[in-house]
Amino acid sequence: MTVNNVEYAGPWIGAQRVQDLLHIDTPELARRLANREILGCVFRSGNTFFPSRQFLNGGVVPGLKDVLDLLMEGDPDRETCVLWLAGSPGDGISNWDHLRAGRLQLVLKEAQRDASRWNQ
């Protein structure tokens, strides 16, 4: 991920902060990451960092797994998913902010549309 993309997609938090926030251990964090229940990216340092906007009220924003499952049908990498979530469906509001506001259906619709384009 380029420096500009890191700034655009952030802010980011480290694995230990996520574990503290969610009250989970390292194996559980790895399981959630593998199951697309949480989104993180490996940086050049070799450390995994997580977009902080995916966390809300001490948990993961509702619907994130559903969105990631749809996006991954288009076979993007995790960085692409982070950038997609930081982007807007055209209304000037990020997909993260739509999710955080409870507009899951809007985000799912956009994810389905874009993932199907990626498959073409």
What ranges do the domains of the chain cover?
Answer: 3-118
pLDDT for res 5: 62
Nearest Cα to 53, choosing from 15, 21, 89, 10? 10
Choose between 21 and 44: higher pLDDT.
21
pLDDT for res 6: 61
pTM of the model: 0.88
User: Cβ atoms within 10 A of the Cβ of 46, count?
Assistant: 6
Query: Which tens digit of pLDDT belongs to each residue from 97-120?
Result: 999 999 999 999 999 999 988 877
8 has a pLDDT exceeding 80: no
